Every structure is written in structure tokens, then in C-alpha cells.
Amino acid sequence: MKLPPAPWQKRPGMAELLTALSADAGETRYVGGCVRDTLLKVEASDVDLATRLAPEEVIRRLKAAKIKAIPTGLAHGTVTAVIAGKPVEVTTLRRDVSTDGRRATIEYTDDWKEDAGRRDFTINALSADPASGTIHDYFGGLDDLKAGRVRFIGEALRRIAEDHLRILRFFRFHGRFGRGEADGEALAACSARANDLMALSRERIADELLKILALPDPAPTVALMAAQGIFAPVLPEIAAEGVERLHFLIRRERAAGVAPDGVRRLGALLPRDALVAVGVGTRLRMSNAIRLRLGCIAERGETGRPDALAYRVGAECAVDRMLLDEGLSDPAPSIASLAEWEKPRLPVRGGALIARGLPAGRIVAATMQAIERDWIEQGFPDAETLEPAIAARVAQALRDTQ
């Protein structure tokens, strides 16, 4: 079988890169996702090469060809070549000497099948000769790709023991490429070894989880993960009602034409408790912005006027809340109204109130808050339109101080 032509193969600088790495002589191949995605007629986001050449030789050749070389992962045999401003990872063929579930000690090999055998799934172990287009499939990946089946290479339990992240990767790839029921052996192994996830860094878990949730429709996959007890060791907060909310959210996103968002979907999965939601973000070592957004989503309730909600919580969280508001029959018009929304500025400052006779301090602050409430309620009018409300609030404050 031959690899079909794809735009990434004609990327500027690709021919020079392959020449430098002796692809014509069989020393270097396309490997992994770019082969898999091209066979599926899906645009390949990344291009990876595997080579028999040692990393030091790869760097030497790239420099000789005036191709930028970055030693991004020399400990694992990976050099990043930069062509036309885009990275291409070049990794020397490897075998695992030892693994501990999080990292592997490797040594180099010149055996293509041995290198392919250390990959996780059969559909990710495909390689292709750049010169002839011939696809090399050592473990039945082509048949699995055709059947929409995600299957571990070799014994599933052993592969998960080598790298615990493969549990989450299995569900991500099943959610993306799988059709029908998940592979039974893989599913049983992931369930049996779910506690192994506790040994992973929280950053790796968060990254993989958000990738799963960013799939077009991860709800069936998430429901499967919950049923198999995958979340229990690291995210016990995810319960059946959260999965139902995720189903609801995805339907609403599609109806409103809103792009998938992993953080929003995680917020839907979590309980409606801001402390719990922020705590999950903290435990997963997510950014402060993501933690605050999760907390904001958890506080969802009646949304009211879109612009008023956006003013209080920001446009991003306003969209999150409107999508999750079951009392809002059709959030699309409200969301569309925020497409180019910019937060307005209250057209009065504390100094102006002091100039009208209010003493600086607590009274000015309280009066400003009251004026801001009036301003929001009136739809953010300009200073002239707001003047009656300002005058009334100042007058009331002056009376209260007497």
C-alpha cells in the first residue's frame, strides 16, 4: 500500500530535509500521526520522521544543509528540524531498556520493527518510505485503521505498565478514531490499572484530559471512562450528573455554532461548587486563568442580560454560563451579541463625587457601587444619560452623612 500525496509532503524545505537525512537510501521515514492521518484523509497537524542516523549525525547533517536544528530531546533521541518556520521532529530508532511507568531508558537500534514495537497503538506504528510511498505495517495497524479500532501493540497491561499515560491516550484515540465498541482487552487493562494514573504528574493528566474534552464529541468517551472507573483515582469529583451536563453542553455548543472548548467542558463535568472546581484546577496545576474560569462556570445560575453578565464575569465565562443555563431556551442570539463585545467603562470617577461634596473614603466607594448598579441596569448609558442617577445617589449619600 502506498501513502497518498498530501500537502505536508510538499512543505517548503521538506525535500531538502529528506535529502539531508538520506531518505532516498532508506535511512529515514515518515512515521506516526502524519501517516495515520493522511490515510484517513485528515489534515496532519504534525510531521514526524524516524531515522537510523544517530542524533549527533542528524544535527551535523542538518547544519551542513543549513537547516536549523534544535536538540529538543537528545536524551530520547529527538532533534527538531525547523523548515519554513515549522518544526519537524526527527527521532532515532530506539528500543526501551527499562521503564517505570513515567519515563523510559532507551538505547538506539537500526531495526524499524523494534522501534515501531515500542509505540502505543497499532495505528500509530505505521511508517512510510518518502521515496516510494510504501507503507510499513508491522502490527496490523492498517486493518485497525480501516475497522476504526484502537488496539495496543502487544499485551495491553504491559504497555500501560511501561507508560501510565497510555490509559488516557487510549480513550483519546478511541474517541477520535474509534468506531463501535472499544477494544475489549484494552478497555479491561485500562480499568484494571486506573490507579496507576496517580503516579503521573498532574500536568500530564490535565493536558491529556483537555485534549480528550476538546474532541468534537467526547461525551460517549467520557461516559465510558466514568463507567470503567478511570476518573476515580485522580478526579473523583466527576460523577454521572456531570456526564449528563457534558452531553447537554455539547448539544448546545453545536446548536449555537460555538467551537469545542476543553476547559468549558471540564467545568460542565465538575460539581456546581466554585471551591471544588477551583480546587480541581489547583490539583491539576492548571493556570490561574483556568482555575478562575472553572470557578466562574461552577457559580452558574440565571444569566439575565448578556452584556450585564459579560460585564460581571467576562465575555468568555458569560458564554460558558449561557450555554449551561437550562432555563435559557436558545443561547445563540445572546452569545452572538457578545461576538465583538468590549467591556465598557463607568463614565464617572470617585473624584467627581468628592467634587460634589462627598467625603473621601467608604461613602464614595459605596455610592460608586450604587451608581454602577444603576448604570448596568440601564444598559451602560453615557455620562449625560446617567446624570439623573448620579445626582440622586449623591444626594442620598449627602443626606445619609448629615
Long-range contacts of 80-86 (CB under 8 A, 24+ apart): 81/17, 83/11, 83/12, 83/13, 83/14, 83/16, 83/17, 84/11, 84/12, 84/13, 86/11
Give the containing element (helix H, strand E) for 99: strand 94-99
Report domain extents, the chain. Answer: 1-147, 350-401
CA–CA separation, 92 vs 79, rounded Å? 9
CA–CA separation, 354 vs 320, rounded Å? 39
Tell me the one-letter amino acid at 305.
Answer: R
What is the chain's pLDDT, residue by residue, as a tens digit (402 residues)? 999 999 999 999 999 999 999 999 999 999 999 999 999 999 998 999 999 999 999 999 999 999 999 998 877 899 999 999 999 999 999 987 766 656 667 799 999 999 999 999 999 999 999 999 999 999 999 999 999 999 999 999 999 999 999 999 999 999 999 999 999 999 999 999 999 999 999 999 999 999 999 999 999 999 999 999 999 999 999 999 999 999 999 999 999 999 999 999 999 999 999 999 999 999 999 999 999 999 999 997 778 899 999 999 999 999 999 999 999 999 999 999 999 999 999 999 999 999 999 999 999 999 999 999 999 999 999 999 999 999 999 999 999 887
CA–CA separation, 200 vs 194, rounded Å? 11
C-alpha dihedral, 193 to 198 to 202 to 207, nearest 10°: 10
Looking at residue 102, its pLDDT comes to 64
Q: b or e along 158-189 (b: 16 or more beta carbons within 10 Å of the residue's beta carbon)?
A: ebbbbbbbbbbbbbbbbbbbbeeebbeebbeb
CA–CA separation, 324 vs 268, rounded Å? 8
How much is the CA Rg of the chain, to the nearest whole Å?
Answer: 28
Superfamily name with CATH number, domain 1-147: Beta Polymerase, domain 2 (3.30.460.10)
Q: Smallest Cα–Cα separation from 175: which of 215, 211, 205?
A: 215
Q: CB under 8 Å to 362, separation ≥6 — which residues?
A: none
For β-strands 86-92 and 48-51, DSSP reports them as parallel
